[in-house]
Structure 1
Amino acid sequence: MGDVISTHLDEERRGIITACTRQVMEEFGRVYKQQYAVALFNSVRFEIEGGASGQSQLLHRSDPLQDKSIFSGDLFQYLEENKKWRNRFIYVADSYNISYYENKLAHDRGLHPKGVISCAGYKVLSSMQEYLELLSHSLPGVRAKAGDSPFLKCASPFLLVLWHPYARHHYFSVRTEKEQQKWLAVFQDCVRHANSGLPEENRVLTPTFTDSIRLYRQGKGHYGTWDMMCGDAARILANLVMESLYVELRSLIGPRLKGKLPQRQRDWMLISDAMYRQVIAHTQVQYEALVQAAEVERPSLDAAFRKDMDQIIASKEQVYGRIRAMMHTRLEQVLRTSVQPYITSMLEDLMEPVSRGFYEVRDVLFRELVDLSKNTLNDGGAEALGKHMERLSMLAFHPVKMRSCYEKVEQLSLEGLQKRFDVSSPSVFTQRAQILMREQMDNAVYTFEQLLHQSLQGQSREQVYKTVQCCQDRVLKKYDYDSSSVRKNFFKEALLQLIVPYMLKQLYPAYAADLPRFRELIFEDFSRFILVENVFEEVILHSVTKDIMTAVKEAAVQRRHNLYRDSMVLNNSDPNLNLLEENPIDWASQYGGGEGHTRGANRKHKQIVSMIQLDGMGPVPYGSCMEVPGVEEIPEESERQLAEELQEKPLATAGDLHRQPLTPTQQTAPKSPGSPESVEEIRQLISPVREVVVPLSEEGESVLSREMVPLEEGEQIKAITSVKEVLVRNSAVASAIQELDTAVLGEDDGEGLVEYAVDSDVELGQPFTGSGPQHHDDSGFQSPTNEHGEEEKPWPIAGRYKAGAAVVDPGQVMVTLEQESCIL
């Protein structure tokens, strides 16, 4: 892998990448510097004049995922390094980044993950056919045939692929369809969150960046939406660089790749990932320097336009009127012939799937609240609210329960309009609508929490039920109003994103030569805050907005769209409710149903999505790192050498263990993890031998059973061998063994307590002694893996042995454990 990258990405080509990145960032930097002054001026003007914005009826919480994680569990990951599948522990934190570890124990110990995947720009695929279809376009002029076999051999039919046009692809596999559907929903939520855009709270940096990206691409002739506007600023800029660099280097390197088509595709993916990581490293540094330089000038810019605010506004309005008068005739002609006839059909294409999605959000919320009412009535009133409200509070961030809502919006299609209005993909609008749906669900749930908590004061079971019903009705009414407002704003923004770039593409080339003369109307001191190109866009924006507002108002009148009219405004319907907006509620600690959140660096995060439990299989303690055999089932060179070394010497005998007992320090303090330095240590890792002190029955036989030995993950009991059975074969010591047995059996007949010492550098998980696996349905938010851990009690070993059993010397019994291999 490294040879392929170093061969095709030599110093010369890496220099090309650096030079191209620097050139793009210099051009972008000039646009950014101009737009920063304009955005700062608009932000201050908005604060002074105030903006007309409708008042939300639902409350909004600032940090909904505090002390929460999304999902975690084991699945198989394909490793490019050795072309094998290996079991990994996946952890999705509240940042929605996907971290993968060697096993669960590594995560619980706080070790660094093997890798972290930022899902910005990715697509989640669940079949090999989808993946091959996208992969066939990776090399220029080469298309995969139907009979071509992929370079990836799946470990199971249930595949999950994270695909990116530039970055490395990630392959995962699970054992059942149920696992696949759950992981698919989680991964899609990670992608959705990463693609949600830059934070809107920053009214200067975010508009500056987005406007600069749009103007830069328009200068290159790219109008319309851009589906790679996802991730943080550095990744978006890297996508901007790769938009032109990728095609250039692909045509240069692609023909020089050797091997069959699957191998060439695989090599090109690795080369592209190396290019992308290099570009991100450059854009990150250069963008931070660009922002820092702009922030240094902020005080001087702020002081410059505050004293002349009125004059700047008047000068801008004068330029606006002149430009509008110049282009009025042609502007109206384009509107009448190319835009107005399509607004209604465009709005219908947007409204139908988006409205279905918001209806589904309401239905899911209603069903959950009804279940809450029934459970509260049946389980004992306010005391049962703890566990039910803990689950309900994270409903918006439960990917599985919200999936039915998201699927409604995924049916959005703009066929027939995409080519005309230069829409690369409807995914931009789909993901934006899904983010708004999640926000509205969380706002509704949070408002219900506040209303219910405000109304609960020592009520009986029947009164609690009535209170829940009352709060439910109030929240649903507020949701109907807010969802109507949110949808109308979404339709306006989406139509503007579709129409304005199209009109700019039609009108800007015709008036580009006339725009410089309008700069003469602007004073030099005001020229940094008034840009003629921005005013030109505002003229088109305001002209289109009038027609869009008319179309949305007409749609609101129709009952089938379920939109409130603009004349129906609810103001301060619950004035006391706004006072509780920053009052988080810990239902578990106040009403029972669980323990409250612990504070500190070592607090355990509650998991939103429940774990998968398969029929007939119990959860593996601390995960596993067991390997699935490769496709050719040929061991690596290092594996063959290791096998030969292990065959040279036999395993340690029982006498060796007896002559080298564990010290008290070794019995109590686990060793720090380290690398094996000898063949014996490697052998111990592969086939570990554990020594356990066990009692004997009155007949002199061991009462140790296979269920009594606490095993680590991947271990099984190969044999339970008494040291007596080994040594009795030697006639020279047979009499000594009989005397030792007689001495032991003659001691105190009281109940014997069993002590055991394990020579291991890991903690032992609690053994599962039940007859069947534990089952958890999707209605629970807490992972079974989090139900134990630090809070679990020691396993009562002594109670499992019959009374009167004696304690024998550690040298009498040896338990040999053999590591179990997992073949999927």
Structure 2
Amino acid sequence: MGDVISTHLDEGKREMITARARQVMGEFGHVYKEQYAVALFNSVRFEIEGGGGPQSQLLHRKNPLEDHSIFSGGLFQYLEGNKKWRNRFVFVADTYDVSFYENKVAHERGLHPKGTINCAGYKALTSMEEYLDLVSTSLPGVKAKVGSGPFVKGATQFPLILWHPYARHHYFCVLTEKEQTKWHAVLQDCVRHSNNGLSEECRVQTPAFTDAVRLHRQAQGHYGTWDMMCGGPPQILANLVMETLYPELRNLIGPRLKGKIKQRQRNWMLISEAVYKQVLSQTQAQYEALVQACEVETPRLDAALRTDMDQIITSKEHVSGKIRALVLPRAEQLLRRSVQPYVSSILEALMEPTSRGFSEVRDVFFRELVEVSKNTLNGGGKDKLGEHMEKISMLAFHPVKMQSCYEKVEQLSLEGLQQRFDVSSPSVFVQRAQILMREQMDNAVYTFEQLLHQSLEEKDQRGENLCKTIQCCQDRVLKKYDYDSSTVRKKFFREALLQIIIPYMLKQLAPSCHPDLPPFQELIFEDFSRFILVENMFEEVVLQSVTKDIMMAVKEAAVQKRHNLYRDSMILTNSDPDLHLLGESPSVDWAAQFGGGDEESDESPEGCGRSKWRRRQVVSMIKLDGMGPLPYESCLEVPGVDFIPEEGEMEEGVDFIPEEEEEEEEEGATPMEPEPNSPDNVQEIRYLINPVVEMVVPASEEDLAVLTNGTEPGMLTLEGEEEEVTLITTVVEEVHRKSLQWKSAPQEVSKQLIERGPDQKAEGELQEKGEAAFEGKVEGIKDALQEMAIMIHEERQDQVEAAIEGEDEAIENAIQEIEMAVQEEDEDRITECAVDSDAELAPPLADSSPRHHDDSGFQSLTNEALDEGEAQPMKDVLKTEDSLTDPGEVEVIVEQGNAALHDNSETGEDSETEILYDI
């Protein structure tokens, strides 16, 4: 590899790279010094005159990630040196830099990492195909064939790749799709944060730098948005140098590369990385010298500004009026012809996904607070509140939980408008919207924390009162979030429209206006010439010409309420002074005050000091649960593809399968044994305390109450041991039995009844006879069942059997009487009576043996489809004066199966009617 770089990057090419970087930095430095003085003037003027937009209603946290890190865990990393995969422990700090160590012990000891990745300018990929497409664009004319494999063979089927157009690419692998999803969300968050590296709190350096970069690119003919405006100033300047240097080197070195396509792509990536490192080292050193020189001049410039502020403002307004008279007519004409027809389309393309994203932020915040309320009510009140709030406090910085919000904005598309207005990619607006969403989520969480903490200090609340307090604070914060998110979105829409439209208008007006601008510089006093620049005033005039249309478009969208936007007049300034006083309070330490989750010790196991912020992690670590150390930790071999398990194999002894843990756990903690399942209701507790015994006796549906009457708790001998009976549950199970009297199926009999039609008179006579027979039968069965229940209670099983045998003849006689009464009438009416009466006729008692049969000949149509032996809940239980049972002593559960009865004397089939006693 070193030979490739030294061969193609000889001394002459390195000198050319150095000269190009020095040239770009010289041109940029001149523009930066001019813009630095202008930015200082604007900052001092703003400080003196004041101003600003509507006041935020939510509180802002000063240092949200204090005492926290983002994520950590094990990954397979591809080593370029020996082309092998090796396990690394990866740690993502609160700076969002990705550091990887030899193992976890090296990190705990505070050793230097093997490497650190600043994710600015990178793209996090999970597909090797997508990566190869990006690699193929690096060398024109050198494109791999369709279906050709990658030059980096993945260790598993779940890759994670960090791609950069100039810098080194990084390859990782994990074993499960869940790990891949979580790591991808974390890496995307690192990229998002790093690309937003310029702090808005620097009111002089940040605007001076961004304007200098923009003007420098415009001088080169590059208008519009720029994807590589990401990272810190040295990285942005390195990208600025590579923007023109990279194509030249590619055309110079690309044709000289030898080998196969994959090897040529790999070699070019190594060369590009070496060039980028060289350029970055130069831009970093020269930018630091440039900033230091400007800071030396700052006191003198600041004094001159404060002394002559009025004269400078008057001079600027005078010159600006003359420039406006020249530029404004041309700008308005261009605006009406080429911009106004597209403003509403651009705004709609921006508003739809952005509003969905902010709405999802609100929903996620609401769902998390609902979970806090539920867990607090069910888990011990304030004792568990700290644990839940400790997780909620970092909700905005949890990449996995915020992923659903970010995905909504990623649907933003400017298709059709992108080429017309020279927008390189919508990613600039997507990442900016995602940063604003994260800020609003953190503001809402922080405000909720302060309000809840204040309420808890004022009153000692528990249970339902605590849930009501949480609900009250939640509603208050959500209302404030609605107003703040509306203000933030409208500001985002205005800035995005300006970023799209202004470069386009400047590009169109520059050829006709720029030749007329130099004479205006002579109208500015020499002492004020550093603070008033004609180029800046020209852009301000163009900005003013389009601002009115942009403001009107956003205002109309707010009036329509299509995306939950509010007019600024509805946002009250300083509407909640008591709340803003809480903004000066430090963040609440829920873990310390209310007993939150466990924290790691400040000292490592080896006794080496560890920084405090490493103790808590926003996203739970992917680590083993009860497993030993990861395999391949010190091995350079690539794990085979066959080693990759499926999801269902994770619990079958595979040692290298990280499990996703949704709750934070202490690093290095031993796995806990699974807790036994606790009873969820009174019934389960009762079953745990008392033994359950099932006794099978025959019974009918009508005589259930009689059966249980008189049965009281007592002692029962089970398997030779006496057990105390405190609960008696009766379950009746009836088993399907075939009919011997009727050979036709019930469906056929019913069909014949319907075809012949009703006979009211015969039906009435039949009904009377059937009822009389049934009443006699029921009375006999009641007496028999009551006596049998008493026998069971006294543990005289022999008497129970004798009583059952005695009553069997009585039951058969009653059935025969019914059959004789039925046979006197028409056969069809007999069938109908039998069907209608079956709901009231329970099966006769049988012997206490589970193998008893009879030839009752009745089959219930309603139970026809039930499986044999399957217990079903009984719909009704006959209650009589003689069958009253104390509900406190007896609990009856009836499960009724098929009511059809059979006689084993003729069929030989096994069937039964069971009463199950749960004791």
TM-score calculated relative to the size of structure 2? 0.69
Aligned partner of residue 172 in structure 2, secondary structure = strand
Q: What one-letter code is carried by the residue in structure 2 that aligns with 1:575? A: P
In 1, the alpha carbon distance for the partners of 2:228 and 2:39 equals 23
Contact 1:73/1:611, CA 8 A, preserved across alignment: yes
Look up the match of 1:551: 553
Question: Max radius of gyration: which structure?
Answer: 2
In 1, the alpha carbon distance for the partners of 2:279 and 2:658 equals 47
What is the Cα deviation at residue 571 of structure 1?
A: 2.7
Look up the match of 1:676: none
Q: What one-letter code is carried by the residue in structure 1 that aligns with 2:596? A: G
Aligned partner of residue 255 in structure 1, secondary structure = helix
> What are the within-5 Å matches in structure 2 for residues 621-700 of structure 1?
624-629=633-638
Look up the match of 1:479: 481
What is the Cα deviation at residue 109 of structure 1?
A: 1.0
In 1, the alpha carbon distance for the partners of 2:661 and 2:353 equals 26
Look up the match of 1:397: 397
Q: 1:620 aligns with which of 629, 634, 659?
A: 629
In 2, the alpha carbon distance for the partners of 1:775 and 1:367 equals 28
Aligned partner of residue 226 in structure 2, secondary structure = coil
Look up the match of 2:620: 610
**1:397-431 Cα deviation digits (max 9, x unpaired):** 00000000000000000010000000000000000
TM-score calculated relative to the size of structure 1? 0.77
In 1, the alpha carbon distance for the partners of 2:641 and 2:404 equals 40
Contact 1:396/1:402, CA 8 A, preserved across alignment: yes
> What are the within-5 Å matches in structure 2 for residues 143-162 of structure 1?
143-162=143-162
In 2, the alpha carbon distance for the partners of 1:235 and 1:373 equals 46
Look up the match of 2:571: 569
What is the Cα deviation at residue 141 of structure 1?
A: 2.3
Which stretch of the first structure deviates more once superposed, 476-485 or 299-308? Answer: 299-308
Q: How many residues align?
A: 654
Look up the match of 2:23: 23
Q: What one-letter code is carried by the residue in structure 1 that aligns with 2:616? A: K
> What are the within-5 Å matches in structure 2 for residues 411-450 of structure 1?
411-450=411-450
1:466 aligns with 2:348: no
Contact 1:39/1:208, CA 8 A, preserved across alignment: yes
**1:254-290 Cα deviation digits (max 9, x unpaired):** 1111110110000100110010011010001100110
Contact 1:102/1:114, CA 8 A, preserved across alignment: yes
Distance change in 2, residues 1:507/1:553 (3 Å): same
In 1, the alpha carbon distance for the partners of 2:369 and 2:190 equals 26
Contact 2:179/2:660, CA 8 A, preserved across alignment: no
Q: What one-letter code is carried by the residue in structure 2 that aligns with 1:121? A: G
What is the Cα deviation at residue 52 of structure 1?
A: 2.3
In 1, the alpha carbon distance for the partners of 2:619 and 2:349 equals 33
1:591 aligns with 2:594: yes
Aligned partner of residue 13 in structure 2, secondary structure = helix
> What are the within-5 Å matches in structure 2 for residues 189-204 of structure 1?
189-204=189-204
Contact 1:99/1:117, CA 8 A, preserved across alignment: yes
Contact 2:377/2:464, CA 8 A, preserved across alignment: yes
> What are the within-5 Å matches in structure 2 for residues 787-802 of structure 1?
787=669
In 2, the alpha carbon distance for the partners of 1:545 and 1:771 equals 63
In 2, the alpha carbon distance for the partners of 1:342 and 1:537 equals 21
In 1, the alpha carbon distance for the partners of 2:509 and 2:665 equals 57
In 2, the alpha carbon distance for the partners of 1:367 and 1:620 equals 37
> What are the within-5 Å matches in structure 2 for residues 54-69 of structure 1?
54-69=54-69
Contact 1:223/1:501, CA 8 A, preserved across alignment: yes
Contact 1:103/1:623, CA 8 A, preserved across alignment: no
**1:752-808 Cα deviation digits (max 9, x unpaired):** xxxxxxxxxxxxxxxx9x99999975542x24535469xxxxxxxxxxxxxxxxxxx
What is the Cα deviation at residue 601 of structure 1?
A: 4.7
Q: What one-letter code is carried by the residue in structure 1 that aligns with 2:348? A: E
Q: 1:505 aligns with which of 504, 507, 520?
A: 507
Contact 1:613/1:773, CA 8 A, preserved across alignment: no
In 1, the alpha carbon distance for the partners of 2:345 and 2:23 equals 42
Structure 2, unmatched stretches of 5+, are 603-608, 643-650, 672-919
Contact 1:611/1:776, CA 8 A, preserved across alignment: no
What is the Cα deviation at residue 81 of structure 1?
A: 0.4
> What are the within-5 Å matches in structure 2 for residues 45-444 of structure 1?
45-444=45-444
Q: What one-letter code is carried by the residue in structure 2 that aligns with 1:402? A: M
Q: What one-letter code is carried by the residue in structure 1 that aligns with 2:481? A: Y
Q: What one-letter code is carried by the residue in structure 2 that aligns with 1:556? A: A
Contact 1:126/1:184, CA 8 A, preserved across alignment: yes
Distance change in 2, residues 1:631/1:285 (3 Å): farther
Look up the match of 1:492: 494
Look up the match of 1:760: none
Q: What one-letter code is carried by the residue in structure 2 that aligns with 1:539? A: V
What is the Cα deviation at residue 340 of structure 1?
A: 0.6
Aligned partner of residue 202 in structure 2, secondary structure = coil
Aligned partner of residue 64 in structure 2, secondary structure = coil
Aligned partner of residue 160 in structure 2, secondary structure = strand
Aligned partner of residue 355 in structure 1, secondary structure = helix
Contact 1:72/1:91, CA 8 A, preserved across alignment: yes
In 1, the alpha carbon distance for the partners of 2:512 and 2:520 equals 15
What is the Cα deviation at residue 460 of structure 1?
A: 2.2
Contact 2:421/2:500, CA 8 A, preserved across alignment: yes
What is the Cα deviation at residue 631 of structure 1?
A: 9.3
Distance change in 2, residues 1:108/1:365 (3 Å): same
**1:206-227 Cα deviation digits (max 9, x unpaired):** 0110000000000000000001
In 2, the alpha carbon distance for the partners of 1:198 and 1:535 equals 24
Aligned partner of residue 567 in structure 1, secondary structure = helix
In 2, the alpha carbon distance for the partners of 1:386 and 1:221 equals 57
Contact 2:158/2:175, CA 8 A, preserved across alignment: yes
Which stretch of the first structure deviates more once superposed, 28-37 or 606-615? Answer: 606-615
In 1, the alpha carbon distance for the partners of 2:654 and 2:500 equals 60
In 1, the alpha carbon distance for the partners of 2:665 and 2:659 equals 9
Contact 1:161/1:172, CA 8 A, preserved across alignment: yes
In 2, the alpha carbon distance for the partners of 1:606 and 1:525 equals 55
Contact 2:73/2:623, CA 8 A, preserved across alignment: no
Q: What one-letter code is carried by the residue in structure 1 that aligns with 2:101? A: Y
In 2, the alpha carbon distance for the partners of 1:155 and 1:622 equals 13
In 1, the alpha carbon distance for the partners of 2:283 and 2:263 equals 30
In 2, the alpha carbon distance for the partners of 1:583 and 1:305 equals 37
In 2, the alpha carbon distance for the partners of 1:79 and 1:587 equals 42
Aligned partner of residue 532 in structure 2, secondary structure = coil
What is the Cα deviation at residue 632 of structure 1?
A: 13
Aligned partner of residue 570 in structure 2, secondary structure = coil
In 1, the alpha carbon distance for the partners of 2:123 and 2:655 equals 38
What is the Cα deviation at residue 307 of structure 1?
A: 1.3
Distance change in 2, residues 1:84/1:598 (3 Å): closer
Look up the match of 1:525: 527
Contact 1:70/1:92, CA 8 A, preserved across alignment: yes
Contact 1:149/1:262, CA 8 A, preserved across alignment: no
What is the Cα deviation at residue 156 of structure 1?
A: 1.0
What is the Cα deviation at residue 597 of structure 1?
A: 8.3
In 2, the alpha carbon distance for the partners of 1:259 and 1:14 equals 24
In 2, the alpha carbon distance for the partners of 1:484 and 1:594 equals 35
What is the Cα deviation at residue 612 of structure 1?
A: 2.9
Contact 1:153/1:631, CA 8 A, preserved across alignment: no
Contact 1:376/1:385, CA 8 A, preserved across alignment: yes
Structure 1, unmatched stretches of 5+, are 634-767, 790-824
In 2, the alpha carbon distance for the partners of 1:772 and 1:451 equals 46
